[in-house]
Every structure is written in C-alpha cells, then in structure tokens.
C-alpha cells in the first residue's frame, strides 16, 4: 500500500539553495503527497522564487507556502510546520532543511525500512565525505563526560562494512522521516529552542515514548553548505548552543549529578572567559545558564 508522505521544508534567506532542494523533492522516485514550505520571513525574494517554481513545475505534487511573519529559528519554523500538518492526511512527515538535497531514491529507501519511528538518511558533503554526525550513542547517565555524544554515524560507517540500517540515538532536522503515529504521541518540536538541540530534545522524547530511531545508509542526501559549527560558539549562536545544552542535561539527565552538570560547566566557562579577559563571553555564558531553566529567548542574542 502506498504511503502518503508530506515534505516539510523550513527556509530562511536561502532561495538559491531552496530551489535545488525543491527540485530534488519533486523528482523523488517515490512521489510525495505534498510539499509544505515554511518561510521564516525571508527578505531575499523567497516567496517570488517559490511562486515561480510552482508555476513552472510540471509535477502533480501540491506545494504550499507559509510565511511565519518573523524569524522563529529552525525550531520555531518546524514547530509552525507541525501545526500546519495537523489538518493534513499523511502517514509520514519528511523534515528538510533548505540546504539539504536528497538523492532521487532517498525517500524510497527510507520507506523500505518500514520503521514506524524516525528514520534518518546519511548526509554527505559536496566533496563526497560523510557529514552524518548524528549520535549513535548519547550518554546522559555519566556525569563525568565532557561530551555525551560518544559515537556518531560517521564513526560507525567508517568502522563497518555493514550497509544495513542500524539504531541511533538522535537525528538532526535534516532529512528524517517521522511517522504520523509518533507525532500524535510525542507532539511537536519545542519552538523555545530557536536553534540547536530542538532535534535532540525531540529525539530523546521519541525514544522515551518507545519509538525506534534508525539510520538507513542506502538513503543519501547532499549538504549544499559546509557545516562550520565548531566556530559557532564564538558567534551569536554560542548563547543558544550553551543555553540549550544546559537544558538538555538538566531536563533529560538520568541522574542528579548529570542534571547538575550545567552549573559546573557554566562556572568553568565563565571563569575561563574572565581569565582570558573576555567579558562578553562570560556575560553570554551567565545569561545562557540563567535562561536555560525556562528556555526564555534572549532577544539580545537573536540575529
């Protein structure tokens, strides 16, 4: 029996990449029921691009466009999109960023797993290198780990010749196929995250509800942009990286010690910043820790 799949694409000021993503979606070997585009109030002509794409497309796939009216971040955009699909008929929701281009058989291979939870494709860079750093193991039980992400899909694939699907701990909102049943039970992404770790929080909630998260190596997608996340901590994004990481630990930590780690991490980062004379970074860390209790968005750090 054919499954009804809706693709949900969140975009912000990347119309040229979006055009490539939309082209790859309408050309999937397994036809989509609908493509929903959620625009975080772009000002680069995204609406005109989408309008022209719809008019010139020879596909029978319905394409819908929604403007959020503000930059809600990736978390807010996907949360908005989940609200949109509440009135839709579908079996799976396929989440797509505006810089991820799935290969023609990507959706077909995701569906072949038959997974009723979340199924993630493997992302690759334009140079062919593996970009899939989704966690295979994310340890929230050990309070002494600097990084709970103990291994990634990239690590697993480089150390194995296995080409079969395997279970993982979390996904990015770049290509995962999510069942309608899971969404009915788990709910939608938490828009308060703005960016970073909204996908991890959703993954943890899904696993806690008993759903399986797997990666399917035969389903492939290409990242149109190189990820420089290691430099993000020094930009405006650093606030959200710290705040949301603190929230994950304090909310989903499996012991009191893990849930208490944000305090010690914040103190360490704060003191190191003071020693280096970086008052701006120290202030940012302090605000991130205080705001992590409620995920209150600090407009001072939003772009």
pLDDT tens, residue by residue, 159-207: 777 789 999 999 999 999 999 999 999 999 999 999 999 999 999 999 9
- C-alpha distance from residue 201 to each of 58, 242, 252 (Å): 38, 14, 8
Q: What angle do CA 13, 108, 101 make, to 5 degrees?
A: 20
Are 132 and 272 members of one domain?
no
Predicted local distance difference test score (pLDDT) of residue 162: 76
Q: Which two tokens stand for residue 213?
A: 């998260």
> Where a domain ends, among 227, 260, 291?
227
Over the stretch 259-282, which tens digit does the pLDDT of each residue have?
A: 999 999 999 999 999 999 999 999
Predicted local distance difference test score (pLDDT) of residue 260: 96
Q: What is the distance of C-alpha 284 from the center of its chain?
A: 24
CATH number at residue 146: 3.90.550.10
Are 169 and 297 members of one domain?
no
> Where a domain ends, among 227, 256, 274?
227
Tell me the CB-side half-sphere exposure of residue 107, using CA atoms within 13 A: 24
Q: What is the DSSP letter of 144?
A: T
Domain count, the chain: 2
Are 212 and 237 members of one domain?
no
- C-alpha distance from residue 48 to each of 44, 55, 78, 80 (Å): 9, 11, 21, 21
Are 170 and 222 members of one domain?
yes
Predicted local distance difference test score (pLDDT) of residue 65: 98
Are 87 and 149 members of one domain?
yes
* pTM, 2 dp: 0.95
Q: What is the DSSP letter of 290?
A: H
Q: What is the distance of C-alpha 177 from the center of its chain?
A: 12
Burial 69-89, CB ≥16 within 10 A → b, else e: eebbbbbbbbbbbbeebeeee
- C-alpha distance from residue 155 to each of 33, 98, 135, 159, 252 (Å): 35, 26, 9, 6, 24
Are 195 and 272 members of one domain?
no
- Region 18-41: mean pLDDT is 98
CA gap 291, 207 in Å, rounded: 26
Are 186 and 265 members of one domain?
no
Query: Range of 238's domain?
Result: 231-301
CA gap 261, 147 in Å, rounded: 11
Is 94 within 8 Å of 192 (Cβ atoms)? no
Are 223 and 291 members of one domain?
no
CA gap 49, 211 in Å, rounded: 37
Over the stretch 213-249, which tens digit does the pLDDT of each residue have?
A: 999 999 999 999 987 666 677 788 999 999 999 999 9
Q: Which two tokens stand for residue 42?
A: 């772009």
- C-alpha distance from residue 229 to each of 11, 122, 182, 226, 235 (Å): 18, 18, 29, 9, 10
pLDDT band at 297 (very low <50, low <70, confident <90, very high): confident
Over the stretch 31-79, which tens digit does the pLDDT of each residue have?
A: 999 999 999 999 999 999 999 999 998 889 999 999 999 999 999 999 9
Pairing of strands 213-223, 118-124: parallel
Are 216 and 238 members of one domain?
no
Which residues are bridge partners to 137 per DSSP?
A: 151
Predicted local distance difference test score (pLDDT) of residue 170: 98
231 class by beta-carbon count within 10 Å (0-12 exposed, 13-18 middle, 19+ buried): exposed
> Where a domain ends, among 202, 227, 252?
227
């Amino acid at each position: 029996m054919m499954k009804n799949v809706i693709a949900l694409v969140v975009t912000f000021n990347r119309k040229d990449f979006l055009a490539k993503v939309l082209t790859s979606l309408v050309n999937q070997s397994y036809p989509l029921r609908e493509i929903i585009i959620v625009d975080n109030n772009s000002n680069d002509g995204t609406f005109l691009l989408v309008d022209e794409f719809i008019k010139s497309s020879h596909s029978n796939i319905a394409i819908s466009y929604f403007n959020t009216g503000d930059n809600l971040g990736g978390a807010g955009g996907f949360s908005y999109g989940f609200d949109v699909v509440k009135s839709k008929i579908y079996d799976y929701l396929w989440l797509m960023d505006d810089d991820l281009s799935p290969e023609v058989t990507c959706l077909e291979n995701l569906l072949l797993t038959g997974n009723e939870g979340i199924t993630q494709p493997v992302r690759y860079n334009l140079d062919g290198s593996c970009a899939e750093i989704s966690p295979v193991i994310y340890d929230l039980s050990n309070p002494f780990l600097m990084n709970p992400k103990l291994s990634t899909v990239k690590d697993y694939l480089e150390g194995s010749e296995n080409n079969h699907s395997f279970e993982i701990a979390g996904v990015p909102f770049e290509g995962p196929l999510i069942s309608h049943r899971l969404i009915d039970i788990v709910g939608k992404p938490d828009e308060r995250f703005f960016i970073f770790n909204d996908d991890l929080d959703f993954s943890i909630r899904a696993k806690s509800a008993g759903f399986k998260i797997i990666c399917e190596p035969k389903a492939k997608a290409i990242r149109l942009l190189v990820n420089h996340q290691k430099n993000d901590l020094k930009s405006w994004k650093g606030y959200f990286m710290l705040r949301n990481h603190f929230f994950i630990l304090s909310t989903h930590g499996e012991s009191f010690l893990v849930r208490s780690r944000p305090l010690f991490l914040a103190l360490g980062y704060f003191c190191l910043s003071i020693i280096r004379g970086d008052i701006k970074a120290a202030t940012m860390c302090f605000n991130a820790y205080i705001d992590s209790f409620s995920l209150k968005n600090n407009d001072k750090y939003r772009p």
